Amino acid sequence: MIKIPGNITIPKIHKLYADLSLNNDLSIDIYLPKRIEKLDFGVFFSLLQFLATWIRKENSGKLCLPIKGSEEAINYLNDNEFVYPSIVLSWEKEIIDENGNNLKNHLKIPSKKYYEKMDYFDLKGTSVPLYCFDHDKSDRGLSKHFYSKNRELVSEDVLGFNLFRAFQKIGFHNPTVYKNSIKDSLNSFISVIHELFSNTHEHAKTNELGFNLYPNIRALQLKFHKKPVEKYIETYKEFKGLSEYFSSGFNVNQLGDLYLIEISILDSGPGLVKRYKGVSTYNMSINEEVDIIKKCLYRHNTSTSSFKSDTKGIGLDRVLQTIDGRGFVRIKSGRVDIFRDMKSKRYIHHDNASDIQLYDWQTNSDINFSVFPPAEGTLISIFFPLAYK
């Protein structure tokens, strides 16, 4: 059994992958925490990416909830935002309580009600998650905010309309911030979200060989952060890239608080490298893997041979341009965990994709990259500061 700690962080999630890779023969159960203390930058969807990696393993076992009985299970679902996607991802597995009782029959109706609240942005807190589960062919499988009734991806303009209330929700406790800061950046947020989610629609619904993935998650999280700059630096002191980012000077309010929007896009598809190469194994060096991700970030590049490269690309280049001079982006895909501080390393269109600067999450180097146990899919998390007015 692998127990998820309540004080989960990105380094601890790295360790979970290491634990998962060590147990190739035995059935592995996952035990969820009663609560997660802090969902800092990228932590929530990093955990979901780990669960998606676990679920794809042949020896993945049961999902264990830290409760007893159906009543506690329903409260646990409603009080913790990580529980619903964990349950849906694990629905074909046994989902049990501490006494070994199967909870799935008790969770069907509460899960449906939870989805309905999420669909109308009525969940607790100011975080906004939206999920697409491609294996679920019901109306709940694809979020109505991303897809029309005929299951086609909506345009950027329609997405902006659909997510307007989502941005209102994350600014609910700070209406002045929403009015003066978030609204000014809405077009940028929508363009980033549409570009990244279109990538999941195009590249992450099937595996590297073109077969449908089961189960499969594609998701968005919006989250508002507010704390003094010194607190950000303290929180991320283990990550040199982020601590340097927060030390680079920001426009803060009278109390020294920095407002940030976190945008995370997750998929459990084949990942950037497997999709680009059309291979099922990582029979390459870690630097080759990073170079392939650089090609995915390169303007007009594409892994889809059926489209002209000047009209159909991976689209990540546009994201870098949109957050240039302000944002911070992390990409975890395959065996790679990398970032780019777009505030200190401004956008440049290089003649060669290999010249793009990306930095290792652990070593903070653009040369020496760590080899992490492989993760399913791709997670892209962005910090976008709001100019205080």
Number of structural domains, the chain? 2
Q: Give the integer Cα–Cα distance in Å for 211 and 203.
A: 12
Assess contact for 229 and 267: CB atoms under 8 A: no
Kindly state whether residues 133 and 115 are assigned to the same domain: no
Kindly state whether residues 73 and 218 are assigned to the same domain: no
- Is residue 179 pLDDT above 90, yes or no? no
Per-residue pLDDT reduced to its tens digit, 3-47: 999 999 999 999 999 999 886 778 999 999 999 998 888 899 999
Kindly state whether residues 142 and 243 are assigned to the same domain: yes
Kindly state whether residues 331 and 216 are assigned to the same domain: yes
Q: Predicted confidence band at 186 (pLDDT cuts at 50, 70, 90)?
A: confident
Kindly state whether residues 103 and 132 are assigned to the same domain: no
Q: Predicted confidence band at 299 (pLDDT cuts at 50, 70, 90)?
A: low
Q: Predicted confidence band at 151 (pLDDT cuts at 50, 70, 90)?
A: confident
Rounded to 5 degrees, what are φ and ψ at 351? -70, -25
Of 120, 143, 171, which residue constitutes the final position of a domain?
Answer: 120
Q: Give the integer Cα–Cα distance in Å for 95 and 288.
A: 39
Q: Give the integer Cα–Cα distance in Å for 168 and 145.
A: 15
Of 91, 120, 149, which residue constitutes the final position of a domain?
Answer: 120
Kindly state whether residues 74 and 130 are assigned to the same domain: no
Q: How far is CA 152 from CA 149, 162, 218, in A?
A: 7, 15, 15
Structure tokens at 316: 């990540």
Listed residue (265, 284, 264, 266) closest to 274, CA to CA: 284
Of 120, 155, 181, which residue constitutes the final position of a domain?
Answer: 120
Task: Give the lowest-confidence range in 69-78, 91-100, 140-149.
Answer: 140-149
Residues of the domain holding 72: 1-120
Kindly state whether residues 356 and 245 are assigned to the same domain: yes
- Is residue 318 pLDDT above 50, yes or no? yes
Q: Give the integer Cα–Cα distance in Å for 67 and 32.
A: 10
Q: How far is CA 156 from CA 145, 200, 202, 305, 385, in A?
A: 11, 15, 15, 24, 22
Kindly state whether residues 214 and 320 are assigned to the same domain: yes
Q: Percentages helix, strand, coil for the chain, rounded to the nearest 5?
A: 40, 20, 45
Q: Give the integer Cα–Cα distance in Å for 189 and 322.
A: 9
Structure tokens at 208: 């590297």
- Is residue 159 pLDDT above 90, yes or no? yes
Per-residue pLDDT reduced to its tens digit, 206-233: 999 999 999 999 999 999 988 999 999 9
Look at residue 311 in the predicted model and tell me its pLDDT.
Answer: 32
Q: What average pLDDT does the segment 151-170 reach?
A: 92
Look at residue 303 in the predicted model and tell me its pLDDT.
Answer: 44
- Is residue 365 pLDDT above 90, yes or no? yes
